[in-house]
Structure 1
Amino acid sequence: MSRVLNVAIVGCGIGRSHIVEGYLPNADKFKVVALCDLDQARLDKIGDEFGIERRILDFNELLTMDDVDVIDVCTPPGAHFFMVKAALEAGKHVVCEKPLVGSLEAVDAIMEIEKTAKGKLMPVFQYRFGNGIEQAKRIIDAGIAGKAYVGTVETFWRREAPYYAIPWRGKWKTELGGVLMGHAIHPHDIFTYLMGDIARVFGRVATRVNPIEVEDCISASLEMKSGALASLTATLGSVDEITRIRLQFENVTIESDHAPYNPGKELWKILPRNDEVKARIEALLANWQDVPSRFQTQMARFHDAIFGKGELPVSSADSRRALELVTAFYHSSSTHTEVTLPLGPEHPLYQSWVPAEFR
């Protein structure tokens, strides 16, 4: 296999960002050779912009193309399971936008398929990458931060009527959820990436901002497996837009940059408790090498993983952890009870968190 992998992108919405931020900066690793979308005008627009001649309306055609190494799924969430399953079974490597699938049952099924699949699957959590988050992760993993005490995540974004003019948005059947699923899932993934697994969740969801089926405000209290406590809050009704993650450890306070859609890029605020801790951090981060943010680093590390030069930067297990939080959140809100994780097939929302009347 050539070291340059041929990519087919399915869905030309967020798929354009994958091209601009992920594949073009890694042109020595990937080449986009095909586009697939149900909208011919959108296909032609993106195809003309990037000089991609192969433009396909039928996803199934991609599965038979021997020269396509990677299928990148950028469709609305409701189509993810079928496409990921079919692409893996066709022997392709797969990239899939969040959410990977629409239930814990579905993600467990995908993880079973992965065990015998020829290709590798990488879900997208592009917010994990950049200098700020990478330095925070390095400090925590080195043991310098010490015991985790508490954390907060604030996802205060703004979505109004024009956003929901796209027909699949704001609907249970096609978006599979609201701010919890489509927006705060990114900062929540960063939080668990840095703070570890969640033990218990008490959450609430509400629809207060927009006339939509799904929620646009959420709040939760968490207990982590480490014993640390945390709170999560998100809304799509903010005037300004910020993503703020603040973590308090025994030896450091860590606070993210507040950029809503790229919190990992800029250096984060790292406050050491004393001079000894400061010196340890400075030694650890000496000779720091730049880590490009978002898709650029995620795609580069995906290429490394395919060729055995590292682990997948995001795995299906990471997606399961994110979807487990989503499932627990919806169950806790509807029952007004605390939910203990992990969740297995015995959980009442294992097959779907979507309300029965919307399935």
Structure 2
Amino acid sequence: MTLSHRNYRAAIVGTGGIATAHARAIAASGGRATLVAVADVDLGRAKTFAETWDVPGAHASLTDLLREEQVDLVHLCTPPQLHAPQALEILEAGATALIEKPPTLSLAEFDTLIEAEGRSAGHVATVLQHRFGTGAVRLRRLQEAGELGRPLLATCATQWYRDEAYYAVPWRGTWESEGGGPTMGHGIHQFDLLFSVLGPWREVTAVAARQARDVDTEDVSMALVTFESGAVATIVNSVVSPRQTSQLRFDYEHATVEVDHLYGYTDDDWTITPAPGHEGVSGLWAQGHSTETSGHDGWLSAVLDALDQGQAPPVTAADARRTMEFIAALYASAFTGERVRSGQITADSPFAPTMEGTGAPWEKVRNK
């Protein structure tokens, strides 16, 4: 029996740079979703965006949009400090909130969204599109089939470069408006993909530093992570690295699997190196080679598939919470010097209401 697809009425809130990726994904959905309205605090910018994408409705606020339009999905492309209150407003209207990363400024804020989702006909999902590229899907499939053996070791590096002009945007580089540095806003894509492959993390030991940028948050962080499976990993997040790269390497019993890209990968960015005696995994990896780039198109397709089946869209609240808890644990370890276990950041932890927690060490030095 063929599953019939419905058409979802979609809206975009925030018409800055990333909104274009969302509009393209909606346009590429083959009629499964239709962009019917946009909103921006700059109504002129909203109208220009609407004209570009042939959208009938343009509004000056999310409140106006929800009052005047019937929508199923709202894509939140606004600055991070607006994500939680706007997602709550969307859920209260019975629509599904699709939130750009980071979904909230803190773990406590995210838990508020989970509670609201339980009262709503809608869902909440985070845009972490690299989980849905064909290489990541193939890797998880081969791992689950046992073709690669046990995962032993992984390395994950997001080493990007963001100059002072980048941080001249008022909401960047502060705990109050961005929630954190490259751990929150940049590396989250890569280590979320790592978690989607290796599963639940168990404990983290980390450092964070402000090396070069005049910001409140870190500009570099590093973590040693142990997983429930027994695998171990290193995670590096940086915005001070002139040679930019996004790299993941997974060492299994039977093969090493790697991807090296920047903001999106194709199958050509992945390599597999079989262990002696396991050369057959190379043939398995080569099956179904694709030229598609990991991005919003594949993510939105997965969202619509889930909704068609009456399921919560990926990345679900539970999935995203695991990643957000890791971020809180990384900061807690870095700022206290202690190893932090999964489940340790409870509601009464100073790192639950804010990722800054007990305070960044460099701020304590500055304030002496």
- For 2:357 and 2:351, locate their aligned partners in 1 and report how far apart those are by CA, in whole Å: 9
For 1:153, give the aligned amino acid. Answer: C
Of 304, 324, 347, the match for 1:345: 347
- The separation in 2 between residues aligned to 1:249 and 1:96, in whole angstroms, is 33
Deviation per residue, 1:6-60 (Å, 9 max, x gap): 111111111122112x111114111111111112332233222212232111211
Instruction: Give, as a single letter, the amino acid of the residue that structure 2 aligns with 1:273.
Output: A
Give how far 1:264 is off: 5.4
Give 3-state SS (helix, strand or coil) of 2:349's partner. coil
Aligned residues: 355
Asked if residue 104 in structure 1 is aligned to residue 107 in structure 2, the reply is yes
The answer to whether 1:273 aligns with 2:271 is no
Structure 2 gaps of 5+ residues are: 361-368
How far the C-alpha of 1:353 sits from its partner, in A, is 1.9
Query: Where do 1:63-78 residues align within 5 Å?
Result: 63-78=66-81
Equivalent position SS for 1:9: strand
Q: Note if 1:321 corresponds to 2:316.
A: no
**Contact 2:267–2:291 at 8 Å: present in 1 too?**
no
| 1:230-288 deviation line (CA, Å, top 9, x unaligned) | 111121111121111111111111111x211113553511122245x443563576456
Does the CA contact (< 8 Å) of 1:201 and 1:332 recur in 2? yes
- 1:19 matched residue in structure 2: 23
Asked if 1:237 is matched to 2:240, the reply is yes
**CA deviation digits over 1:56-102, x for unaligned, max 9?**
11211222245212111111111111111111111112211111112
What is the rounded CA distance, in whole Å, between the counterparts of 1:118 and 1:292 in structure 2? 32
* 1:221 alignment partner, SS class: strand
Unaligned runs of 5+ in 1: none
1:346: how far off? Answer: 4.0
Greater displacement, 240-249 / 266-275: 266-275
Matching of residue 299 in structure 1 with residue 300 in structure 2: yes
Q: Distance in 2 between matches of 1:284 and 1:269?
A: 9
Q: Which residue of 2 aligns with 1:139?
A: 142
CA distance in 1, matches of 2:291, 2:163: 36
User: How far apart are residue 114 of structure 1 and its match?
Assistant: 1.8
Cα distance change of structure 1 residues 133 and 74 upon mapping to structure 2, 3 Å threshold: same
**Does structure 1 retain, via aligned residues, the 8 Å contact 2:267–2:289?**
no
Q: In structure 2, what is the Cα distance between the partners aligned to 1:128 and 1:35?
A: 27
Counterparts in 2 of 1:309 and 1:235: CA distance versus 1, 3 Å: same
Q: Which range is displaced more, 43-52 or 191-200?
A: 43-52
- Once residues 319 and 264 of structure 1 are traced to their aligned partners in structure 2, the CA distance between those partners, rounded to angstroms, is 24
Tell me the SS of whatever aligns to 2:111.
Answer: helix
- Cross-structure match for 1:58: 61
In the aligned structure 2, how far is the partner of 1:175 from the partner of 1:283?
42
Q: Structure 2 residue aligned with 1:221, among 215, 221, 224?
A: 224
Aligned to 2:129: 126
Q: Percent identity?
A: 28
For 1:316, give the aligned amino acid.
A
The residue correspondences of 1:12-51 to structure 2 (distance < 5 A) are: 12-13=15-16, 14-20=18-24, 22-51=25-54
Distance 2:163 2:151 in 1: 37
- Provide TM-score, normalisation by structure 1: 0.92
* TM-score normalised to structure 2 length: 0.90
Question: Root-mean-square deviation (CA), in Å?
Answer: 2.3
2:333 counterpart of 1:332: yes
Q: Structure 2: which amino acid aligns with 1:324?
A: E
Aligned CA distance change for structure 1 residues 250 and 311 (closer, same or farther; 3 Å) = farther
